[in-house]
Amino acid sequence: MLRKLIFLAFLTIFTALIAPCIGSVVYSPVVAFEKNIDSWIFVNIRIPRVLMGLVVGSSLAVAGVVMQCIFKNPLAEPYILGVSTGAGLGALLGFVLGLFYLTPALAFVSATLTVALVYNLARIRGFFTTESLLLAGIAVNFFLYALEWLILVKTNAHMILGWLVGYLGNVEWCDVRVASLAIIPCFCSFMFSKHLNALLLGEEQAFYLGIDVKRVLKILIALATLATSTTVAFVGIIGFVGLMIPHIARGFVGEDNRFLIPASALIGATFLAWTDALARILNVPVGIITMLCGGPFFIYVMKRYAKRL
């Protein structure tokens, strides 16, 4: 198993070195050491964009693993609790109010508050279940989605449509540095890998194994929310990465979260970096590419796990 993780690590490193060279214009790596406009584009646009893709891909993949374990549902993904619609609403308000530089901060705060709202709505007599959490997330998602489109229709904020489908093209070095903080909740999620393994057996069995289920669920939801909202705040809503990658990683390393989480992080990083390279060639937002991949994959997973749904 360790050999597989080492292979994935080398593949990710290879991607980080080669992906910046690929796009509508192909560059040689040596251009980074020259002093011309191509060098500036390579260093200040291509490299930050690829690094952001690596961070976002790994964060969404790890958050997807956590959500699928929490809900014990193969179709669960990081946006299930309203992170995407919450972030979209915050970003949309930033665009409408002309607070362009505050858009990432507004998206992050809005996403975090949305999940907090979902959690409180799901509480029944002071407690919550994964079922009530899921239903509250669906309800809030629909409400905020309608609110976003109401604002879009009533204002001239159509420039944000690219952000709403996920776009890495406007990334700068400072964005990469801040978004890299998402690695922290991803690493913390890995530290809870044994707890996630126990949760796969069911909440009752996990309780008998000595796990404080409610406390662990709260922590894991908070970690997945932080990882997702931190990255979504900068690049928008990139769909299906958190759904697809955990399943691909399971086929590679199995169900054990001690190996599944790092494998998902590495595969997610590699996947998004290469899909964004394709998006650069086609000159489209990367979210469109991931949705084209994710739609058929969603149907495949639904058919495969039909008896569990």
Q: What is the pLDDT of residue 52?
A: 97
Total residue length of the chain: 309
Query: What would the pLDDT profile of 10-35 be if each residue is shown by its tens digit?
Result: 999 999 999 999 988 888 888 878 88
- Compute the distance between CA of residue 267 and CA of residue 8 in angstroms, rounded to an integer: 7
Token pair 């858009």 is found at 103
- Per-domain residue ranges of the chain: 2-308
Q: Which residues of the chain have pLDDT under 70?
A: 124-127, 156-159, 306-309
Q: What is the pLDDT of residue 93?
A: 87
The superfamily (CATH) of domain 2-308 is: ABC transporter involved in vitamin B12 uptake, BtuC (1.10.3470.10)
Q: What is the pLDDT of residue 296?
A: 92
